[in-house]
Structure formats: structure tokens, C-alpha cells
Amino acid sequence: MLKRDAAPVDIGSAEFFQRARARLSFEIPPGLNDPSIIPVSGDPGNDRMLQIIAQERPIRPAAVLIPVVEHAQPTVLLTQRAAHLNDHAGQISFPGGKIDNTDASPLDAALREAWEEIGLSREFIDPIGYLDLYGTGFGFRILPTLARVKPGFTLRINETEVDDAFEVPLSFLMDPANHQLHSKEFRGIERSYYAMPFAERYIWGATAGILRVLYERIYLP
């Protein structure tokens, strides 16, 4: 993450999914459950923050789904978390959450959460593979699953968790010109984070960071 030599790359839908299948797999990184293995972000401030967090609180394994809807111009299906939630209220997110003991795998957790949160049925979802493990300042170890989603689904919003679900063009999210790099302080350490504002939606934090990882894994050589 946080490579600064990016340039715009234009690839079509077929090539995007072809590259994704070639570059991703369903190998589960050991850092998902091992607190001694710290996810690497590429930013010294972030990496130091994750080292501190790992020493102070138990890790929280989580899984999210990155649903890329296969329209003529592909889109990414995102959610807006419910305003009444205690954690990350109102923020833009992927469908997902913590991995339960009953989940067979992180993929299974991501699919379960997508169904519970927005009613996205598994019959429309073609999982492709895991992205890199993403650590957060709240102790989450997030394993994102990229998936190809067939159009034609009907969503059912679970209002206890989600206020809204919406689609953003993949081309917008994968254009580095739309990747704003900001910084803030964590215990005297400057750390960086991405933001990708889209219309009235402010996509930032872990969601934007994971989208940036997707860009670097699929769009860069």
C-alpha cells in the first residue's frame, strides 16, 4: 500500500477479472490470527501504529466482500453503515464483519455477512480470491474477498446494520487521480490514509485503503 508512483491505467472488464484470477488466491495469510505477524502497509507510521495496537489489544479477525458488479461498466457495491452503530457509524464500508467460529472460512464469513447485511444472495456471487491482509487501528485484521457479481440481484437492507447500499463505478475507484492521500497523528506518529470522495459519499479509512490495495494488485504491473 501507499505506493506513490502510480499512473492511470485503463483496462476493460474482461481483463480486470482475468488479472484478478491470475494474481489472487484463497490462501489464508497466517497474520489473520497470529498477533506476532503484523500486516505491512508500506507506511512507517501505519506500520508502527499496528505494532503498538497488536501489543495492547487482542486482534479481531474480520472478512469483507468486495463485490464488483459485472455491468458493461463494472461497479463496486458498497454500504453505508447505520448511523446508530457504536463503531464506525455512518461510514462507507464493504459488506462484512468479524469472523465467527461457525464460519468455515473467511470467504464464508464474507458471504454470510453480505447476505445478512444487504441480502446479496450467494447465487449471484463468483468469489475470485483474497487480497492482502489489512490491519486497522481498532485491532481488526481484515481479509477482503474480491468477487464477481452477476447483475439482476435484489437487495434487502438490514436496517439494524446498514442505512444504504449503492454502486460506484470501478473506473472511478481505480483511477489514482481520485486517491487522496491524507495524514493524521497517532500518539505522536504521523500516519497516512486514503480518501476517495464520490459525489456526496466520503469513502475513506479502511475502505479506501483496501480499494487502493486492489488497485495496486490488479492495475499495476
Where do the structural domains in the chain lie, given as residue ranges? 13-218
CA–CA distance from 132 to each of 9, 63, 119, 179, 214 (Å)?
Answer: 21, 11, 26, 19, 9
What does the alpha-carbon distance between residue 3 and residue 174 come to, in Å, rounded to a whole number? Answer: 14
Given CATH 3.90.79.10, say whether it is the number of domain 13-218: yes
pTM of the model as a whole: 0.93
Q: 15: Cβ–Cβ under 8 A, 6 or more apart, which residues? A: none
Contact 170, 135 (CB under 8 A): no
- For residue 84, the model assigns a pLDDT of 66
pLDDT tens per residue across all 221 residues of the chain: 455 555 556 788 999 999 999 999 999 999 999 989 999 888 888 889 999 988 888 899 999 999 999 999 999 999 998 866 656 557 899 999 999 999 999 999 999 999 999 999 999 999 999 999 999 988 999 999 999 999 999 999 999 989 999 999 999 999 999 999 999 888 888 889 999 999 999 999 999 999 999 999 999 98
